[in-house]
Chain A
Amino acid sequence: MQKRSIVTIAYILFLLLPIYWLVAMSFKTTNEILSGFSLFPETFTWENYAVIFTDPTWYMGYVNSIIYVTLNTIISIAVALPAAYAFSRYRFLGDKQLFFWLLTNRMAPAAVFALPFFQLYSSVGLFDTHLAVALAHTLFNVPLAVWILEGFMGGVPKELDETAYVDGYSFPRFFVTIFIPSIKAGVGVAAFFCFMFSWVELLLGKTLTAVAAKPIAATMTKTASNAGYELGLLAAAGTLTIIPGAIVIYFVRNYIAKGFAMGRV
């Protein structure tokens, strides 16, 4: 048992080292970073964070990212729920083909879609809006959400539906008040995956925005090349991008392992 946990501990240390370095770097002054190696910040400073929280080009990046990630999660789950229900409960013409076609979109390289997406969203007048990024990310998130939700719904016995109809529930009322609560864990897991992909993706987010909806990730790359090499600032911005993910993962931690096992994920 002792020998086993060493593997886990070593792995977690390996995961935390680069993160530690990023956080340590964010509390150093640019001078200290460039003057040489130091394991801990010698002159501890909040300067880098102060810049981010006072400069709108910085903090609006976070606001933009959070807006389109939230939009994307809501849209993806809203359209995936009825579709997953159809796939898990009914047979219909072309159902298997449709399911497979949906999944193939998850396999598309984002680089393939960068330019066509730019043209498509420009031509419908959505370029540089939060909605454009949110919609573009649904291409990858909706198939995954349908897949995860369908797995969870398959685990709910069909008798539940039938009993509800016998009790005089209409379909929408049954779906919202009985069915969705019974697959809460699945909705949590699916939402987590939507959040995760939309939060971490950069290529499409950057291609589809210019100023008004520019994600934080794009702000970072632009700053990195414009203002020379302000490593401390870059590290502080990077550290802040870890926080939303950490919060979300903390809330769904109990569902994740269970969710994977129950669903077909």
Chain B
Amino acid sequence: MKTENQRAWFFVLPVLLLVAFNALIPMMTVVNYSVQETFGNNLFFWQGLDWFQNLMRSERFHAALGRQFMFTGLILLIEIPLGVAIAMSMPRKGFWVSICLVTMALPMLIPWNVVGAMWNIFTLPDIGLLGYFLNHVLGIPYDMTQNIFAAWVTIIVMDVWHWTSLVVLLSYAGLVSIPEAYYQAAKIDGASNFAVFRFIQLPKMKNVLTIAVLLRFIDSFNIYTEPFVLTGGGPGNSTTLLSIDLVKIALGQFDLGPAAAMSLIYFAITLLVSWLFFTLMTKDDAR
């Protein structure tokens, strides 16, 4: 039982001040820009909600948003089932567990631009391992700087390489927390493998899977560095995801007003979808 104690606020105060400094001030700056127009020299003019209205009608924004949802959707559809499957096939004890955990966590600890550069080197058509293999051994013409489909496959495979391990580690943690007695009981009842998965393993993994889905949604929806380094958003605009487009507008063209309006809508969508996932996945617990 938690006790009521208002002095607990003092414990939270450092966090509150730090996060407020980092979140509220920049957020207010963004809100401020989003309703103004500037021509440089620190001159600002009131613009009202024009930027938001323009954005709602902007085909460029709609296209980037569409690509972003497609990317995130594919990532979730591939990484979550794959991660669960790999976690179930991992050894539960012994020497190999450490080896598996360390190697699997490795991609997550590589700086994001190195991940992009690494996949760039890996997929170069004539001198990269994958590019050479596809082009010269299998005879499949592959060049992600020219072909939109190839570029998409490459950024998806790169993200699967980069982040599936997060789902694996979380699911694995859920799996090892299941007592052996559950499996013995299932064996006595003659339960099939699928039944064991459906009625024992899946429910036990539900909490960690909720976290996995949420984190994968948030991070893939906000992704910037890796696809930017790998494809630069091309060919054309085909892999220009939301963050890449936003940075282009804000730091490239210095259109502060439109960029700020886009930032707010971007953040709002992230929050809304995260909240939806969270509510849907935890609604059974509330009962």
Docked complex Cα distance between A37 and B177 (Å): 47
Interface: B144 (CB within 8 A): no
* Cβ-defined contact, B161 with A93, below 8 A: no
| A83-B15, A146-B15 known; A110+B222 contact, CB < 8 A | yes
- Mark the stretch among B50-58, B69-77, B82-90, B181-189 that contacts chain A: B82-90
Inter-chain CA distance A261–B17, complex, in Å, is: 31
CA separation between A196 and B111, bound complex, in Å?
9
What's the dominant secondary structure at chain B's contact region?
helix
**Does A265 lie within 8 Å of B170, measured CB to CB?**
yes
- B274 near A107 with CB under 8 A, answer yes
Q: Cβ of B3 and Cβ of A102 under 8 Å apart?
A: no
Interface bin, chain A: 35 or more
- A7 surroundings in chain B (CB, below 8 A): 85-86, 89
Per-residue 0/1 for A32-68: is the Cβ within 8 Å of any B Cβ (1 yes, 0 no)?
Answer: 0110110100000000000000000000000000000
- The complex places the Cα of A5 from the Cα of B92 at a distance, in Å, of 11
Most chain A CB within a 10 A radius of its CB, from B12, B85, B89, B127: B12
Could you pull out 18 A-B pairs where Cβ atoms are within 8 angstroms? A18-B161, A82-B14, A91-B3, A92-B6, A108-B222, A109-B270, A111-B246, A114-B251, A120-B29, A142-B15, A201-B111, A202-B111, A231-B121, A241-B111, A242-B109, A245-B109, A249-B106, A260-B172
How many positions in chain B have a CB within 8 Å of any CB in the partner chain?
93
Distance in angstroms from A14 CB to nearest chain B CB is 7
Cβ–Cβ contact A8 & B86, under 8 A? yes
Taking CB atoms and an 8 Å cut-off, the chain A residues in 203-255 that contact chain B are 203, 207, 216-217, 220-221, 224, 231, 234-235, 237-238, 241-242, 244-246, 248-250, 253-254
Which of B8, B15, B18, B89 neighbours the largest number of chain A CB atoms within 10 Å of its CB? B15
- Rounded to whole Å, the gap between the CB of A100 and the closest CB of chain B is 9
B22 at the interface (CB under 8 A from A): yes
In the bound complex, residues from chain A placing their C-beta under 8 Å from that of B207 are: 264
Whole-angstrom CA separation of A138 from B19 in the bound complex: 7
Q: Would you call B224 an interface residue if the criterion is a C-beta within 8 Å of the partner chain's C-beta atoms? A: yes
Chain A residues within an 8 Å CB radius of B225: 202-203
A22/B121 in contact, CB under 8 A: yes
Q: Is B141 an interface residue (CB 8 A)?
A: no
Is B48 in contact with chain A by the CB < 8 A criterion?
no
B22 touches A221 (CB 8 A): no
Do A249 and B105 touch (CB < 8 A)?
Answer: yes
- Chain B residues near A166 (CB-CB < 8 A): none
The answer to whether B107 has its CB under 8 Å from any CB of chain A is yes
Kindly report which residue of chain B lies nearest to residue A254, judged by CB atoms: B98
Counting from the closest, the 6 A-B pairs by CB-CB distance are: A245-B109, A260-B173, A116-B26, A86-B11, A90-B8, A109-B222
| A15 & B174 in contact (Cβ 8 Å cutoff) | no
Decide if A79 touches B109 in the complex (CB within 8 Å): no
Tell me whether A116 and B25 are in contact in the complex, defined as CB-CB below 8 angstroms, given that A15-B104, A265-B170 are known contacts.
Answer: yes
Residues of A contacting B263 with CB < 8 Å?
109, 111-112
**Structural contact, B169 and A109, CB atoms closer than 8 A:** no
Instruction: Assess whether A112 is in contact with B18, with CB atoms less than 8 Å apart.
Output: no
Main SS at interface, chain A = helix
Contact residues in B for A11 (Cβ distance below 8 Å): 86, 104, 164, 168
What is the CA–CA distance of A91 and B1 in the complex, to the nearest angstrom?
9
Neighbouring A residues of B136 by C-beta, 8 Å: 37
Query: How many Å from the CB of B211 to the closest CB on chain A?
Result: 6
Known A-B contacts A33-B127, A107-B271, A109-B270; the reply to A200 vs B110 at CB < 8 A is yes
Bound Cα distance from A90 to B2, whole angstroms: 5
Once bound together, how far apart are the Cα atoms of A34 and B126, in whole Å?
Answer: 9
Chain B residues with CB below 8 A from A244, complex form: 109
B118 at the interface (CB under 8 A from A): yes
Partner of B89, one of A4, A37, A104, A115: A4
Distance A161 CA – B276 CA, assembled complex (angstroms): 37
> Which residues of B (121-164) have their CB < 8 Å from a CB of A?
121-122, 126-130, 132, 136, 161, 164
Closest to B168 in A: A11
Supposing A8-B89, A92-B6 touch, asked if A257 and B267 sit within 8 A by C-beta, the answer is no
Q: Name the one of A86, A216, A220, A257 contacting B12, with C-beta atoms under 8 angstroms.
A: A86
Tell me if B49 is interfacial: C-beta within 8 Å of chain A.
no
